[in-house]
Amino acid sequence: MKSTRIPAVVAVLAALIVLPRFADANWTIVHAGTDVVEIDRDSIRKDSAGVRAWSRVRLEREARDVAGSYDTIRAENLYDCAQRRFTTLRRAYFQSGGLVREEEVARRRANPVQPGSLDERLMKLACQAPPAELATPDRIAAPAGEAGNAPAVARPVPMHADLRRGEEGDGAKVFAVADTAPADKPKLIQLPTIDKAALSQAAAAQEAAARASQEAGAKSGVGKPAAAVVPKPVSVAKTEARETEALSEKRIRELHYANSGPPRASRKKSAAAPAADPENPAQQMHKHWSYDGETGPAHWAKLRPDYAACASGKRQSPVDIRDGIRVNLEAIRFDYKPMQFRIVDNGHTVQVNLGEGSSLMVMGKRYALQQFHFHRPSEERVNGRSYDMSIHLVHRNDEGQLAVLGVLLEKGADHPLIQTLLNNLPLEQDTEMAPEEAIDPGKLLPENRAYWTYMGSLTTPPCTEGVLWMVMKQALQVGSEQVAIFSRVFRNNARPIQALNGRLIKETR
């Protein structure tokens, strides 16, 4: 019979190993406009790859995602001081000072530090710190005085080595960046001295050549005198002061900096990319139409020949859902599964692209879920009522037919899945984020699966008809601040209501 003492001893040793490296963290506040991030001066340490340091963001209010609630987020960054780059290595999430979870960044990418940014200020602090003992990638020296007065010894650094419930203190020093200068400040570019005499000679020669050309043209009667080229003076534009961010903008910055980390590699369409499939709204990235002005809905049909249905179509969407026929509609059979996602701001909406694996069955046909996106306010109306937002889940079957499931959103409690999407909201248009966490599209479905259904069209150009629409009768709740964040990105991206033209609307009894 095997002894159980060895595992017990291992457990005790493991508990000793995970004692925090900086239980008394030396937090220093770094400001950039309204952005505030703290860096732990005691965590700054040089190793063979660069300088490591932990920073944290304390959120304005509690945030929630599919993994739980948190109000503080830490990130361990590796700074390359010479190349002015940093890489996020790990993140940890705290709630009321207690560790909720931590995670290593699986796909690490070095990100350039932009001049004047918050990242630059953090890098200045990290790179100017006094040189610490060089540590190997696997072992690090424990700080003196940790765990009582025991001498500092080299020990392995496990994932939890610097994180423990209750270590999130409120004490922090304020750091004035203006009083310091980066150790790796780039040298100014030395421009060659301008030889004024040579410049005058060149100008005189140019003027003489122009005069000779003019005289030659006058004699031959052909051509016109060449106009003298006067170089325009180059002026240096003044840097404008940064406007104060609204609360929702600050919220995006907080969550994006600490929870999502730097943006993933941009996946923008190139000029040689294949043309978008007009039947697939997931591929539409057109920039020449909008929701207002000369490129708004009233003018869509005039923008391109293949947009003609936007004006001439008789089965257009969205519609005001009313006077539906109450029947025993078959239940929609959902087969939604947790999956990885990619999120992009395509200029018209926040769109979440999904891989294969989720689908629904209705009317004897299986439709695969391709993507979903948001509208504010809701494009659909019910008996004239407009909702705060709506979600459109776009499906396609093997025959290329589209089915769109509409879910209405009204203000109430925060929605965890929507918060996860906002956490990963891209900072730039057409930049696709590919987070490591998965989402379950089934969380976007209400408990009551009753619905309305009718035949309609895409609600964006080219307004293709023949789309099966199913709109859930029960609305989901979304937080008022979540709506406000979306509103900062898209003030209005809802197409006006279209004529029903005698179409039949059926609804669950």
Angle between helices 247-255 and 416-423 (to 10 degrees): 80
Contact partners, residue 159, CB within 8 Å, separation at least 6: 90, 102, 104
**CA-based radius of gyration for the chain:** 30
Give the CA count within 13 Å in the CB-facing half-sphere of 406.
Answer: 31
Query: For residue 311, how many other CB atoms are within 10 A of its CB?
Result: 14
Q: Which secondary-structure segment (H or E) carries 368?
A: strand 365-375
Tokens of 93: 């999430």
Give dist(CA 241, CA 276) in Å, integer: 40
Residue 31 designated active-site: no
Tokens of 217: 């043209």
Residue 392 designated active-site: yes
Tell me, rounded to whole angstroms, the distance of Cα 412 from its chain centroid.
24
**Maximum CA extent, the chain:** 116
Residue 373 designated active-site: yes
User: Parallel, antiparallel, or unpaired for β 465-472 and 402-412?
Assistant: parallel
Tokens of 100: 């909720």
Tokens of 115: 């001049």
Write down the catalytic residue from 256, 286, 375, 415.
Answer: 375
Closest CA to 91 of 81, 76, 78, 79: 76
Write down the catalytic residue from 256, 286, 348, 395.
Answer: 348
Is there a contact between 174 and 28 (Cβ–Cβ < 8 Å)? yes
Residue 415 designated active-site: no
Write down the catalytic residue from 76, 379, 380, 507.
Answer: 379
Write down the catalytic residue from 286, 373, 395, 415.
Answer: 373
Is there a contact between 506 and 327 (Cβ–Cβ < 8 Å)? yes
Residue 256 designated active-site: no
Helix spans in 96-187 (H): 118-128
Residue 379 designated active-site: yes
Closest CA to 40 of 162, 133, 153, 179: 162
Write down the catalytic residue from 392, 432, 507, 508.
Answer: 392
Write down the catalytic residue from 72, 87, 453, 459.
Answer: 459
For residue 71, give the amino acid letter.
Answer: D
Residues with catalytic function: 348, 373, 375, 379, 392, 459
